[in-house]
Amino acid sequence: MHIQNKMLINGEWVDALDGATIDVVNPHDGSLITKLAEAKEADVDRAVAAAKAAYPSWGALQASERGHLLLKLADKIEECAEELAQLESLDTGHPIRDTRNLDVKRTAFCFRYFGGMADKLEGTTIPVEEGFLNYTSREPIGVVGQIVPWNFPLMFTSWKMAPALAAGNTVVIKPSEITPLSTLRIAELMLEVGFPPGVVNVIVGYGHTAGACLSEHEDVGKIAFTGSTATGQRIVQASAGNLKKVQLELGGKGANIIFEDADIQKAVGGSAWAIFHNQGQACIAGSRIIIHESIADEFLDKFVALASSIRLGDPSNPETEMGPLTSKLHQERVLEYCEIARQEGGEILLGGKKPSDPALANGCYVEPTIVRGKATDRIAQEEVFGPFVTVITFKDDEEALAIANGTEYGLGSGLWTKDISRAHKFAREIHAGMVWINCYKRVHPASPFGGMGKSGYGREMGFEVMREYTQVKSVWVNIDAKIPPFYQR
């Protein structure tokens, strides 16, 4: 398997100026995968300068030509699908069955969607006073800084880069130092299909150094970030120097409401997908199951049985359904929340510990964990970001809505009911950027993705994100309007 361990700046693979490196570790067994060039301030400056120099010609390129390169990249990703799937599993701990069937396919699909979107940007004609034509056009921002999280690095690389490039921007992208390998491989494929030097630059470094420098940089016109709310708040502060545009997709504490009339079997399967897919490492995870008290016991009997059957193991094994968490530090964080649940008097119905299998002892594994608790518990308020779900019961719809909206987050949410009026009412009243009805965690390149409150602002995906990566210009044309008398002399 080919592994790139340098950074891409101006079309060339280079080491860090000071020779610094970062260890990239396999979360399955703790072994070293590679040492990777670590970007610091001087390296960020080089990357931004390359993107700035490439912008005029890239932004002026026919939009259909930009789209054509994105379409070629999508084809190339499909050609290299197995290699990318294995690389993503090795680096992140995602089970190979998911990287093959979801991550790689979604990545190619996203690049292809925005390849087709590139020449679809339209302005508007605005009715103003007689004698004037007023129209708008959308123009690229310029150099865009993008910071990709460690939980879905391959997929989020496409979510970030595809619309930015389609809109005519150049990019400096920083994947997480924990999981950078698939982003670097995508960059290699971009060079192969003909992206010009400097249009895409990839740097890998720590958030407090490379990420902070990118967020503060005077020549960066926009910063797009996916990650924690605390880091997002620091990015907003860092962006103030040149008032750059900011787009944030931050934390979540997804409410997953099961009403008394729900199809319990479907709700059980959908709720397991909502929280245990990718080991629960998803901002939109359904990490709070809010269930009507009349069906709680029946639902939990089935839900615990299903969760107990999930196969933990080596992510390279096609039979594995749940792999390790992505880092030792994160494993410790999730286990700490298991201890917090015990201290708060939560009833641990399943899990709450590392697996006992000695073959998994060196990895970052945590068992699927289900805890009955209260809406005000820390485990129901704070983002755990692991295979950990808090179960809360409710008596009526009013209480269910209050619990659902009872956190500072507002990203994803779901509900299970046969009552269509109730479904639409809750979809309207839940404080969240996305609501799934009788399903959970569905995404598509055409559908806006983003949150409210401390879950951030701005949107990924769809036509909304093309607006995020452009700025509007208003043009006035005097057709036959009279000039005011004051100016006629």
Contact of 220 with 143, CB cutoff 8 Å:
yes
Q: Is 419 helix (H, G, I), strand (E, B) or coil?
A: coil
What are the two backbone dihedrals, phi and then psi, of residue 277, each rounded to the nearest 5 degrees? Answer: -60, 135
Look up residue 368 and give its two tokens.
């699927």
Instruction: Say which DSSP state 241 is in.
Output: G
Instruction: Say which DSSP state 312 is in.
Output: B
Pairing mode of beta strands 200-202, 170-174? parallel
Q: Which residues contact 474 (CB under 8 A, 6 or more apart)?
A: 126, 134, 135, 136
Rounded distance, CA 219 to CA 48, Å? 7
Look up residue 284 and give its two tokens.
């939109």
Rounded distance, CA 419 to CA 235, Å? 42
Rounded distance, CA 225 to CA 244, Å? 13
Strand partners, 408: none
Rounded distance, CA 458 to CA 144, Å? 15
Catalytic residues: 249, 283
Counted residue by residue, the chain has a size of 489
Contact of 116 with 67, CB cutoff 8 Å:
yes
Question: Which of 51, 50, 68, 82 has the alpha carbon at shortest distance from 316?
Answer: 82
What are the two backbone dihedrals, phi and then psi, of residue 127, each rounded to the nearest 5 degrees? Answer: -70, 115
Rounded distance, CA 307 to CA 387, Å? 10
User: 6 vs 12, 22, 157, 189, CA distance in Å?
Assistant: 9, 11, 17, 15
Strand partners, 390: 288, 371
Nearest 5°: CA angle at 377, between 373 and 381? 115
Nearest-10 crossing angle of helices 181-193, 81-92: 160
Tally of CA atoms within 13 A in the half-sphere of 332 that contains its CB: 3
Rounded distance, CA 216 to CA 67, Å? 30
Cβ-defined contacts of 19-24 (< 8 Å, 24+): 22/177, 22/204, 22/205, 22/206, 24/91, 24/177, 24/178, 24/179, 24/180, 24/181
